[in-house]
Amino acid sequence: DAWLRYAPYPGAAGHKAFLPQTIFALNTTTTSPVYTAGTELALGLKSIYDLQASVEYQDALHYTTCPGKHLIVGTLSSYDAKAHGVRVPELIEDGYFLDITPRRVLIIGQNERGALYGAFEYLNRLGQGNVAPASFASNPDAPIRWVNQWDNMNEGGTHGSIERGYGGVSMFFWAGVVREDLTRVHQYARILASVGINGIVLNNVNANASLFNENNLDGLKRIADIFRPYGIRIGLSLLFSSPQSYGGLSTFDPLDERVIQWWHDITDKIYARVPDFAGYLSKASSEGQPGPLTYNRTLADGANLFARTVKPYGGIVLFRAFVYDSKTLNQTLDWKADRANAAVEFFEGLDTEFADNVVVQIKYGPIDFQVREPVSPLFSHLRQTPSAVELQVSQEYLGQQAHVVYLAPMWKETLDFDMRIDGKPSAVKNIINGQRWNTGRGGYAAVVNAGLNSTWLGSHLSLSNLYAYGKLAWDPESSAEELLDAWTRLTFSHDQAVVDTVREISMASWPAYEDYSGNLGVQTLTDILNGHYGPNPASQDGNPWGQWTRADGFSIGMDRTLKNGTGNAAQYPAEVAATYEDPETTPDNLLLWFHHLPYTYRLKSGSTVIQHFYDAHYRGSAVAQTFVTLWEGIKDKIDAQRYEEQLFRLVYQAGHSLVWRDSITNFYYNKSGIPDELGRVGNY
Ligand code: GCU
């Protein structure tokens, strides 16, 4: 149940007088999110406050004056606000109005989904023991608030795997087919809806076309039917070459009439089963995946091919900007080669070419979900094409859920970053929500990769990332700490010591992980060739993947300047470009991202690059040791099972952080020959 446990509230007795005894849910269709809201509200009241509220499902309110303490949940069209003398503030799609008075609670959605969101907001308050009167409208910051699952079909192969999934096997697929038992999908839908998620892509970006057989299309319908009452629409990742590899055509050229027809036919079959199908996600011409570039067509040709098929049904295409050629990059021969340049180069000149239902989905940084990256420069290049940021709840490079790394602070830095396009305020959050260019159609996607593990993600504390993701996609102004505190109360306990402890661990976790895994913008120094887990700084260089550090005996870092390097700094708008062009003005935490510098280079802090490496790795791993002691301090305040399971993880993290520390510091000590001023490194 994640944060929807609805654990009994300790002060329940004193609060009952403020709670509704009757719920009027203004929809009689069982698949409506308003109906779901009614059921969910009754469940929450019973579970949190031991209050058996009755639910009456009505298409329109039968009463002019409702009896007793009551709650009404409905939409602008099912609730006649005027007739009841209620003034509802302006609501946009999916928004809601919540009005809590001592006599009645009113939850009005702009649409059915909005009503459900309002109900979950009320339950969120109840779960935290908050029954105080309130009256406010809440509207989402952006229309796209999706999660991406990277679940494999595993046709004939290993079963139920999820690419970069650390929380067990797939809840959707098994050995090439859609599972019979989709019980867990119900629960996932509930969890996602409770934080405002309205779309889910079910399958891996490195997609497999076997999803399109009749049996699986029927399976998709079953999945969609489960998500629908929670206001969540399903989408699919596409394998670009499907017309050839699966459809038997001789080509997958996006401009070929047979190919176009093939995709229309597939799309029609999907919509025949799932009329509210959300649309497609496409990874094309990247990392060996087929795409339009195979036929010298543009990325826009590829995106528009799909966009036209879903357009008549109101669907959209999320076209990923994660496009680069992992085969031809050559570090040794080419000082100017730079994977970070790829997205802007590949999308160059295409801004006006995309169909109006295409949204470009851009990873937050230009490389690949690293512990620290500057924001992707592509956000500043698309003015007519809406964009969505791609975040990663699944902690691929960030400890794979075996390490606690609370990511909301990192995401907020990305969202708040001001790109200063044309010298004007241009925060990333205002680019993707469509305000900066008046496109109004972008938003948020996060790779989540929840699985059948009872914790969903693989560890208890990692779930705060999913909670925070949904809440930030709804309102990027939310505070990382407040989200965390609310999540802790709902998940573990109201005890202030528990809330304080989880906050202390979580808020220290990203800085600590950065300190012991790769600082100064050098990237997560993990094993990039195998699994992306654990330290392996040597693996970064000398391969075509382009996540290079260019470390030698004297110096380290990627020179991305215009004057001497790859020119990547110049892909940013002028003011930002000027900052990144010069090591003196580049923030220390991105120094080695943009500059190739001697180990003896002095930072703004006064320390040298190499000494900073040593100090940061010792500091970060020392912080990770404290997590164990902090957690032990709340032993008696949470249930034994979750206490023990998380303790196991934290002890492991503390140990693994030492492995990180010693591997990295020794590696650079051996490379540079410069001793640690404090005599720690190489001294065992
Ligand atoms: C990362 C990840 C891959 C994934 C890719 C993507 O490189 O390791 O597993 O396919 O990102 O986002 O497409």
**Helix (H) or strand (E) segment spanning residue 70:** strand 70-75
Ligand 1 nearest-atom number relative to CA 390: 12
Q: How far is the CA of 164 from the centre of ligand 1 (A)?
A: 8
Using CA atoms, how far apart are residues 481 and 487, in angstroms rounded to an integer? 10
For residue 650, which of 499, 517, 491, 459 has the smallest C-alpha distance?
Answer: 459
pLDDT tens-digit map of 445-493 = 999 999 999 999 999 999 999 999 999 999 999 999 999 999 999 999 9
Nearest CA to ligand 1 atom 7: 368
CB of 163 sitting under 6 A from ligand 1:
yes
Query: Do residues 427 and 398 make contact, with C-beta atoms less than 8 angstroms apart?
Result: no
CB of 322 sitting under 6 A from ligand 1:
yes
Q: How far is the CA of 399 from the centre of ligand 1 (A)?
A: 15
Q: How far is the CA of 396 from the centre of ligand 1 (A)?
A: 9
Query: Do residues 109 and 75 make contact, with C-beta atoms less than 8 angstroms apart?
Result: yes
**Integer-rounded Cα radius of gyration of the chain:** 26
CB of 205 sitting under 6 A from ligand 1:
yes
CB of 390 sitting under 6 A from ligand 1:
no
Instruction: Find the angle CA(520)-CA(659)-CA(374) to the nearest 5 degrees.
Output: 20
Using CA atoms, how far apart are residues 367 and 167, in angstroms rounded to an integer? 24
Q: How far is the CA of 150 from the centre of ligand 1 (A)?
A: 9
pLDDT tens-digit map of 543-598 = 999 999 999 999 999 999 999 999 999 999 999 999 999 999 999 999 999 999 99
CB of 346 sitting under 6 A from ligand 1:
no
CB of 475 sitting under 6 A from ligand 1:
no
Domains of the chain are 12-138 (3.30.379.10), 144-478 (3.20.20.80), 516-558+596-672 (3.90.1330.10)
Q: Is the dihedral of CA 654, 655, 659, 665 positive or negative?
A: positive
CB of 164 sitting under 6 A from ligand 1:
yes
Confidence of residue 330 (pLDDT cuts 50, 70, 90): confident
Q: How far is the CA of 323 from the centre of ligand 1 (A)?
A: 11
Nearest CA to ligand 1 atom 12: 322
Per the annotation, the verdict on 368 as an active-site residue is yes
Using CA atoms, how far apart are residues 277 and 315, in angstroms rounded to an integer? 7
Q: Chain centroid to CA 193: how far?
A: 14
pLDDT over 80 (residue 157): no
Q: Is 459 helix (H, G, I), strand (E, B) or coil?
A: coil
Question: Average pLDDT for residues 242-262, to the nearest whole number?
Answer: 98
Nearest CA to ligand 1 atom 1: 368
Residue type, 680: R
CB of 339 sitting under 6 A from ligand 1:
no
pLDDT over 60 (residue 167): yes
Question: What was the pLDDT predicted at 154?
Answer: 84
Q: How many helices (H) and strands (E) does the chain have?
A: 18, 18
Q: How far is the CA of 2 from the centre of ligand 1 (A)?
A: 27
Query: Do residues 105 and 122 make contact, with C-beta atoms less than 8 angstroms apart?
Result: yes
Question: What was the pLDDT predicted at 420?
Answer: 98
Confidence of residue 412 (pLDDT cuts 50, 70, 90): very high
Q: How far is the CA of 205 from the centre of ligand 1 (A)?
A: 8
Confidence of residue 683 (pLDDT cuts 50, 70, 90): low
Question: How deeply is 115 buried, as exposed, middle or buried, from its count of CB atoms within 10 A (0-12, 13-18, 19+)?
Answer: buried
Output the six-digit token pair for 532: 């992306």
For residue 323, which of 300, 305, 307 has the smallest C-alpha distance?
Answer: 300
User: Per the residue annotation, which of 338, 396, 515, 581 is the catalytic one?
Assistant: 396
Question: Average pLDDT for residues 206-228, to the nearest whole number?
Answer: 95
pLDDT over 90 (residue 17): no
Q: Which of 209 and 366 is assigned the larger pLDDT?
A: 366
Question: Average pLDDT for residues 500-511, to the nearest whole number?
Answer: 98
Ligand 1 nearest-atom number relative to CA 286: 13
Residue type, 58: Q
Using CA atoms, how far apart are residues 666 and 658, in angstroms rounded to an integer? 12
Complex ipTM tops 0.85: yes
Residue type, 37: A
Question: Average pLDDT for residues 313-342, to the nearest whole number?
Answer: 92
For residue 448, which of 406, 395, 519 has the smallest C-alpha distance?
Answer: 395
Using CA atoms, how far apart are residues 348 and 381, in angstroms rounded to an integer? 8
Ligand 1 nearest-atom number relative to CA 532: 8
pLDDT over 70 (residue 213): yes
Question: Average pLDDT for residues 633-646, to the nearest whole number?
Answer: 97
Ligand 1 nearest-atom number relative to CA 205: 13
Question: What is the DSSP secondary-structure string of 174-225?
Answer: ETTEE-S--HHHHHHHHHHHHTT--EEEEE-SS--GGGGSHHHHHHHHHHHH
CB of 368 sitting under 6 A from ligand 1:
yes
Question: What was the pLDDT predicted at 333?
Answer: 81
CB of 206 sitting under 6 A from ligand 1:
yes
Residue type, 421: I
CB of 527 sitting under 6 A from ligand 1:
no
Question: Average pLDDT for residues 295-318, to the nearest whole number?
Answer: 98
For residue 144, which of 341, 359, 297 has the smallest C-alpha distance?
Answer: 359
User: Per the residue annotation, which of 94, 338, 368, 676 is the catalytic one?
Assistant: 368
Q: Beta-strand (E) ranges in 364-465?
A: 387-392, 443-447
Question: What was the pLDDT predicted at 684?
Answer: 53
CB-side exposure of 616: number of CA atoms within 13 Å?
24
For residue 303, which of 366, 363, 346, 340 has the smallest C-alpha distance?
Answer: 346
Per the annotation, the verdict on 504 as an active-site residue is no
Is the backbone of residue 380 left (phi > 0), alpha (psi -120 to 50) or beta? alpha
| β-pairing verdict for 104-109 and 96-100 | antiparallel
pLDDT over 70 (residue 325): yes
User: Per the residue annotation, which of 56, 163, 225, 287 is the catalytic one?
Assistant: 287
